[in-house]
Structure 1
Amino acid sequence: MTTVTSPLAGRAIGLAAVPDPVFSGAMVGPGTAIDPVRERSTAVAPVDGVVVSLHPHAFVVVDSQGHGVLVHLGIDTVQLNGEGFELLVDKGDTVARGQEIVRWDPAAVEAAGKSPICPVVALEATADALSELREDSDLKTGDTLFAWQ
């Protein structure tokens, strides 16, 4: 089993509340979403693993069991072309849970007209593979978001 922890502080709101049909419909995979605190912060690795995909607005870490966890920083933030995001690791790096991955500012994302809501998705998972899913609670960075069988 893999425990997936929160890459950010904020409020768990569940995927259904994400203002994007691809995420809210769980088309990418099951998981939850975080409405982040509106201050400059750093998104951290939700699991120990390897960074297999890295963009200013999103990253994927795959753990030793092959579980890939997508962290998407805001909605439609790809349209910001990396502005306001700072990468702190490289694709291919091995990272530890809690290690800093991307520095960003959710308030600046919101000011640019984008949603700062952050889906955290279990890639290639079925909904019944997840348990202890947080969908309505305050979170500190590192709190458990869900368990993945």
Structure 2
Amino acid sequence: MPLTNLSVLAPVAGRVTTLDEVPDPVFAAGMVGPGLAIAPVLGTAVVEALAPVGGVVAAIHPHAFVIAGPGAGERGVLVHLGIDTVQLKGRGFELLAELGEEVAARQPVVRWSPDDVVARGMSALVPVIALAADPAMLDLGSGDVEAGDHLFDWHAQP
């Protein structure tokens, strides 16, 4: 099946930032792939992180998930909820989807609290990564977004 252009949506509301602002060298250097990060809106007790594309839940942990497959073609989009949040061992995160489940774009996948992450001394930045993508294939957005708004386009190979 030929790849088509893919619109990647914001999983959370907040201010869009570049990956070089992420306080993690792996994300900041784009080693996982290109993309953007979102500084989530604070002051809301619980936030639902939404699927940025339609597809299959290819990986899911309390602090991160990948949506790939049907709606996304062969591409995968990683959403990482906060930085170093793997250390929380799932505390403060509630899975709303399961591995292998087909999800629609904008469907809630994980419930979490960016405020709680910040209170624990961690960054609540949310990297949204186009896995294994050529950076030249992305048109990145900027500014403020609401959850479910357009974040960036991932173009098909010409």
* TM band (smaller chain): over 0.9
Match of 1:23 in 2: 27
Which of residues 139, 142, 149 in structure 1 aligns to 2:148?
142
- Give the whole-Å Cα distance in 2 for the aligned partners of 1:111 and 1:52: 30
TM-score (norm 1): 0.97
Unaligned residue ranges in structure 2 (runs of 5+): none
Q: Report the 3-state secondary structure (helix = DSSP H, G, I; strand = E; otherwise coil) of the residue aligned with 1:128.
A: helix
Match of 1:80 in 2: 88
Give the CA deviation at 1:142.
1.0
> What is the root-mean-square deviation of aligned Cα atoms in Å?
0.7
Partner deviation per Cα, 1:15-41 (whole Å, 9 max, x = no partner): 111010100100000000000011221
Q: Which runs of 4+ in 1 moved over 3 A?
A: none
TM-score (norm 2): 0.91
How many residues matched?
147
Partner deviation per Cα, 1:109-135 (whole Å, 9 max, x = no partner): 01011110000000010100101x124
Unaligned residue ranges in structure 1 (runs of 5+): none
Matched, 1:113 2:121: yes
- Give the whole-Å Cα distance in 2 for the aligned partners of 1:29 and 1:144: 19
**Contact 1:14 1:134 survives alignment (8 Å):** no
Match of 2:8 in 1: 4
- Give the whole-Å Cα distance in 1 for the aligned partners of 2:96 and 2:152: 25
Q: Report the 3-state secondary structure (helix = DSSP H, G, I; strand = E; otherwise coil) of the residue aligned with 1:26.
A: coil
Which of residues 133, 136, 149 in structure 2 aligns to 1:125?
133
Match of 1:62 in 2: 68
